[in-house]
Amino acid sequence: MLVASDDKLKSIVSRVLGQSYLNLVVGWPLRAVLQPGMGFLADRLLQEDPPHGPLTQLAVSCVRRELPYPRISLRQANHPPFKFDVGHVPEDGALYVQHPCFQDRYVPPALVNDLLAREKLGAFRQIAASLGAKEIRIISGAVRSRDWRGKATIPLPDAASQIGLGARFDSQNSVIEEIYARYDKPRTPPKVPSELEPWVEMDPSLRAMKHGRLQARLSEDAVSLEIREEIGGMGRAAVGLEKYGINVGGRYKSVIHSLWHYRVVYWPTP
């Protein structure tokens, strides 16, 4: 979703038109010299056109391939149903990605995968607590992302630090098995709160965890939590739009693919 006023939209479209035209007709050295001038010319023409004038509408339709995102005004973005992170104020000319679990929530594309990884880890702990967990024990972990030699792209402790996972490691960078979280005896029957259900529907491990506790009445469960880029391709593609003057949330934060194994022990159910 692109948040843009009429003037900002014209400015962005002008840059897209200027660059797209030159990509077709000239080579790189000459393109680097002419591109600013073409963008300026397109901008002058569009600025003289009314917000919904024929020239503006034609220009917007011409850049659908480069900007296939729905557009709302800055005023619309500041009112329901659109929601953003606490403290974040939507900006004119900013691009946002829809949160896969919460359809009314929007996140800058450069930050979305980092945010989802941290939120998924937090959701796992909250779901375990709501199902009546007595303790969560971390067993092991592994980096699944590999380089061309077949080796892990980063050490396991770095992958844990990236998502805010507080685990300890031995001299071989293997997880030290220990209690990760401990909970008091619950006062209510096991149940997944409605605000956490979207995470259960999104992730098969969390879905199996819920079923095992509520349907099979497990007293102990092995859970494997996979952390990876949920919106990888879309996030990277969106970051490439900075050259058009679109704010994508800063530098892209990639997430290393990792797998973490836990043992969840539950309090006895009445």
The domain spans of the chain are 2-79, 112-230+250-266
Tell how far CA 67 is from the center of its chain: 19
**CA gap 119, 33 in Å, rounded:** 45
DSSP-derived 3-state class of residue 232: helix
As given in the structure block, the two tokens for residue 189 are 């029957």
Residue 26 pLDDT > 50, yes or no?
Answer: no
Average the pLDDT over 111-135 and give the result.
95
| The pLDDT value given to residue 71 | 84
Q: What angle do CA 94, 3, 93 make, to 5 degrees?
A: 40
pLDDT tens per residue across span 57-93: 545 555 566 778 888 888 899 988 999 988 888 999 9
- Crossing angle of helices 112-130 and 232-239, in 10° steps, is 150
**CA gap 187, 204 in Å, rounded:** 27
**CA gap 206, 247 in Å, rounded:** 34
Q: How confident is the model at residue 13 (pLDDT cuts 50, 70, 90)?
A: confident
136 strand-pairing partners: 181, 264
**CA gap 41, 51 in Å, rounded:** 17
**CA gap 158, 169 in Å, rounded:** 11
pLDDT tens per residue across span 55-66: 445 455 555 667
- For residue 129, count CB atoms less than 10 angstroms from its CB and return exposed for 0-12, middle for 13-18, buried for 19 or more: middle
pLDDT tens per residue across span 232-262: 666 667 777 888 888 998 888 888 899 999 9
As given in the structure block, the two tokens for residue 10 are 């014209």
| The pLDDT value given to residue 239 | 72
pLDDT tens per residue across span 196-212: 999 999 999 999 999 99
| The pLDDT value given to residue 183 | 96
Residue pair 255/99 in contact (Cβ under 8 Å)? The answer is no
